Amino acid sequence: MSDVQTCSLCPRLCRHACPVSVGTGREAATPTAIAGVLVDHARGQVSDELARQAATLCVDCGACQDACHLHQPLPAMLREARDVLLSPSPEPDLPAVPAGVSVLLLIAQSADSLRPTAQVPSDAHVVVCPDRLGVDHDFGSSPALGAVLAAFTGLELYTMDGGIFDVLHRAGLEPKWALDVPPTSVGSCVCALGERPPLACCGARGPLREHHPESAVHLAQAFARRLAPGSVLLDTRCAQHLRNSGCAVDPHGVARQGETA
Ligand code: SF4
Ligand code: SF4
């Protein structure tokens, strides 16, 4: 039996962990239901469009796999399905690295109000990555990640942006986190730091926001209501998405609990 079939027959054991399933309350958004559509699609019983709708009800957070007693690789299976069902993502806009540079601090914007920790070497070369290495696109298992790997292999990498960290990590690199933010004040991007987010996802990640914008707004509003006062949003994606969803976010990315703009 294939892995995706196993998920399609599962009594929804990981649904409580999936932020899309919980945040939307939609039965169709449970990992089991999504897998069921993909199995039916492979049998020719549902359209490509229905399969696309199902495979994009995901923020690619990995929580289902973590919660699964079988450790089923459902996130990777959904990525592979999206590779087939969606058009390829554009190549990321990669910054040029001057010759002789060995340490990079990658930031999202030049006016970033956050300051890196003292652990970042003083000779680190700062590069601005306006599209955050293309994180807003759903890479799936795309070769674009190979371009990121090739561009930065051999360099010591630091970043203060969860989205940039996310892309570097997914490309197989080992970026270092350049902020010393107490975990209790982290409101976002912990998915990108390899810890399971206590607040799940705000809906900014993965293909959800582009393909299911209304569901992504529901996730953002639920996320903002659960944020502790003064939480720091460490991922520019999240700050923008929360702001676009009507939630109160300061210009430097600090959300205020429960408020809406
Ligand atoms: S990942 Fe595990 S718990 Fe989730 S649907 Fe698949 S088999 Fe079930
Ligand atoms: S990767 Fe995350 S969003 Fe996608 S199905 Fe699994 S738990 Fe849900």
Give the pLDDT score at 194: 47
Q: What is the pLDDT of residue 257?
A: 52
Question: What tens digit of pLDDT does each residue of 8-59 get?
Answer: 999 888 999 898 998 898 999 999 999 999 999 999 999 999 999 999 999 9
Give the total number of structural domains in the chain: 3
Nearest to 79 by CA among 64, 95, 98, 59: 59
For atom 2 of ligand 2, the residue with the nearest CA is 61
Domain residue limits at 77: 3-85
CA-atom Rg of the chain in angstroms: 19
Q: Are 234 and 179 in contact (CB under 8 A)?
A: yes
Structure-block tokens of residue 36 = 């069921």
Under-50 pLDDT residues of the chain? 183-184, 187-188, 190, 192-196, 258-261
Residue 176 forms part of a structural domain = no
Look at residue 7 and tell me if it is in a domain. yes
Distance CA 168, CA 114 (A): 20
**Is 187 in the same domain as 253?**
yes
Rounded CA-CA distance 76/46 in Å is 21
Output the pLDDT for position 237: 81
Q: Which residues form ligand 1's pocket by a CB distance below 6 Å? A: 6-7, 10, 13-14, 31-32, 64-65, 68, 70, 72, 74
Closest-lying ligand 2 atom to the alpha carbon of residue 14 = 7
> Do the domain assignments include residue 94?
no
156 and 205, same domain (yes or no): no
- Strand pairing report for 231-232 and 176-177: unpaired
What is the model's pLDDT at position 181?
Answer: 63
Provide the 3-class DSSP secondary structure of residue 140: coil
Read off the pLDDT of residues 182-204 as tens digits, 9 standing for 90 and up: 544 554 454 544 444 555 788 98
Pocket test for ligand 1, best of 18, 39, 64, 77 (most atoms within 8 A of CB): 64
Regarding pTM above 0.85, the answer is: no
User: Do the domain assignments include residue 156?
Assistant: yes
Q: Residue 214: inside a domain, yes or no?
A: yes
Question: Does 173 map to a domain?
Answer: no
Residue identifier of the C-alpha nearest atom 6 of ligand 1: 7
175 located within any domain: no
* Same-domain pairing of 211 and 248: yes
Which pLDDT value is given to residue 188?
Answer: 47
Look at residue 141 in the predicted model and tell me its pLDDT.
58
- Do 196 and 251 belong to one domain? yes
Report the distance separating Cα 47 and Cα 177, nearest Å: 43
b/e per residue 31-59 (b: at least 16 CB within 10 A): bbbbbbbbbbbeeeebeeeebbbbbbbbb
